[in-house]
Amino acid sequence: MKIFNLSMECYPVAKVGGLADVVGALPKYLNKIDGVEASVIMPWYNKPFVHDHSFEIVFDGWIHQSHHAFQVQVMKERGKTLGFDLYLVKIPGLLDRDNPYGYWDESQQFLAFQHGVLHWLTAMKIRPDVLHCHDYHTGLVPFMIENCPEFSFLKGVKTIGTIHNGEYQGQMKWDMLNYFPWFRGDKVGLLDWDGYINPLATMLKCCHAFNAVSEGYLQELFQSLKGLESLVQQEHAKAYGIINGIDTEVWNPETDAFLDFNFGKKNALEGKWKNKKELCEEYGLNPDLPLFSFIGRFAGEKGADLLPEIVWKSIQQTYGALNIMILGSGEKHVEHQLSELSYSYSNFALDLGYKEYLSHKIYASSDFLLMPSRVEPCGLNQMYAMRYGTVPVVRYTGGLRDTVQDISTGGSGINFGSATADDAVHAMHRALHIYHENGLMDSLVHSNMNYDFSWEKSAEKYLELYEK
């Protein structure tokens, strides 16, 4: 079975969030299954990975959009270093930039990527068994292969759409139709939702099947999907929930090259303490205090706007009996508020930006990981934390409720109900009691490390979906 994953991100080539981690792991683990050949197709970015690895040009052609002609080059990585074939699509002027997102013409970028991929596959007579489309950026592919005569060679190819985060849908105004490959006018309704071209809605209408990245998130989508709830209900027969896994080869405290001290289950307590001591010394924190951490984008869906209140309330209410460390960036007012607090409190450390190596160190060093998410389709951070013996303190929503069970019901984490600072701080108080209860914290470290979130199980479920 030949599977192409279409995505704007893939770790370690280019990463903004969890989408990159999933796309960088799923095909690798699919390829461990006999008879499966999974690859990734993504845009070319001006990133270290593309300059540090060898590529060959496997296609060089042109696409026409409106009155413009664009060169399309497809490059294949020679070494298969990621455990799968990696194809990069370069379109000078559109797909040759530093980052995946944030450009004024990104709708045209995403459209050109999809157009370019299908043009290449058609021109070279490459017909995969499955085109796996990740998020709205590739959501027009199922429509185009069925309705654009230019791609009639691909008609009937099975398309799977994955909703990693339904908060983003890629709505476009109708003048973007000028950039589409030609299709019959009576098919235009497949693109429409609420008066706009909506790529996510189009994907749900046109794909053979779609999945959310956890069973919990799928159930939420029937009730809340930023206006697409009725569409999910209408298409429920082809809806599935598959929890993401984590790449246990990358995220392994025994071999992780980013850690100051590696550790396994047998020496977890000693190993975590050594890493914590090192990290705390670097950031001026007291290692004898419990360490709470947050890693992620400063976005409303992550509950990041709550962080300033969480920081000062938890420190004030506990009289400074804890440490907090935050790694992330995003909304500027959150960055500013947190920066102010970092000058005020000696037991609060802030590192603005995103550093992959530092995230590994924080997972290994922390006692608790805080996730006050409003929306969390799957969540990978809690799985990384548990893999490194860190106790997750999470809001009970989406994929978090699928993966983190509260200690009161036999689990090894802490849940709270509402995305408010007060609920989060109350959960932190519970965490402090656990931390100081003789032997309980030690047992939670070990029990969290025993959870299996490997991709093997998730890859099997995706294969079952492909075969339906």
Closest CA to 416 of 306, 321, 327: 306
228 within 8 A of 179, measured Cβ to Cβ = no
* Burial class of 356 by CB neighbour count within 10 A (0 to 12, 13 to 18, 19+): exposed
Residue partners of 424: CB distance under 8 A and separation at least 6: 303, 306, 310, 370, 372, 393, 395, 416
**How, if at all, do strands 158-163 and 209-212 pair?**
parallel
Residue 418 tokens, joined = 């509402």
Average pLDDT over residues 265-288: 97
Q: pLDDT digit string (tens) for 418-439? A: 999 999 999 999 999 999 998 9
Q: pLDDT digit string (tens) for 358-393? A: 999 999 999 999 999 999 999 999 999 999 999 999
Residue 219 tokens, joined = 């159930």
* CA 252/CA 264 separation, integer angstroms: 9
Residue 188 tokens, joined = 């235009």
296: number of Cβ within 10 Å: 25
Q: pLDDT digit string (tens) for 208-229? A: 999 999 999 999 999 999 999 9
| pLDDT attached to residue 354 | 85
Q: pLDDT digit string (tens) for 84-120? A: 999 999 999 999 999 999 999 999 999 999 999 999 9
243 within 8 A of 215, measured Cβ to Cβ = yes
Write the DSSP string, 61-103: EEEEETTEEEEEEEEEESS-TTSSEEEEEEBTTTB-BSSSS--
- Distance, first Cα to last Cα, the chain: 13
Q: pLDDT digit string (tens) for 312-361? A: 999 999 999 999 999 999 999 999 999 999 999 999 999 999 899 999 99
CA 51 to chain CA centroid, nearest Å: 24
131 within 8 A of 6, measured Cβ to Cβ = yes
28 within 8 A of 39, measured Cβ to Cβ = no
Task: Indicate the residue type of 127.
Answer: R
Residue 131 tokens, joined = 């085109």
Write the DSSP string, 139-158: TTHHHHHHH-GGGGGGTT-E
228: left (phi over 0), alpha (psi -120 to 50) or beta: alpha
**Three-state SS for 227?**
coil
Task: Indicate the residue type of 23.
Answer: V
Phi, psi angles (nearest 5°) of residue 456: -55, -50
* CA 120/CA 245 separation, integer angstroms: 31
Average pLDDT over residues 4-15: 97
Task: Indicate the residue type of 82.
Answer: L
> What length does the chain have?
468
DSSP 468: -
* Burial class of 433 by CB neighbour count within 10 A (0 to 12, 13 to 18, 19+): exposed
Task: Indicate the residue type of 274.
Answer: K
139 within 8 A of 168, measured Cβ to Cβ = no
Average pLDDT over residues 157-171: 96
* CA 142/CA 423 separation, integer angstroms: 42
Structural domains present in the chain: 2-247+456-467 (3.40.50.2000), 268-452 (3.40.50.2000)
Residue 35 tokens, joined = 């008879």
Task: Indicate the residue type of 222.
Answer: F
Task: Indicate the residue type of 214.
Answer: S
- On the question of pLDDT at 67 being above 90, the answer is no
Residue 25 tokens, joined = 């792991």
* CA 11/CA 24 separation, integer angstroms: 5
Phi, psi angles (nearest 5°) of residue 25: -110, -45
DSSP 42: E
- On the question of pLDDT at 59 being above 90, the answer is yes
CA 5 to chain CA centroid, nearest Å: 14
**How, if at all, do strands 348-352 and 291-298 pair?**
unpaired
- On the question of pLDDT at 17 being above 90, the answer is no
Phi, psi angles (nearest 5°) of residue 405: -100, 140
Mean pLDDT across the chain = 96
Task: Indicate the residue type of 354.
Answer: Y
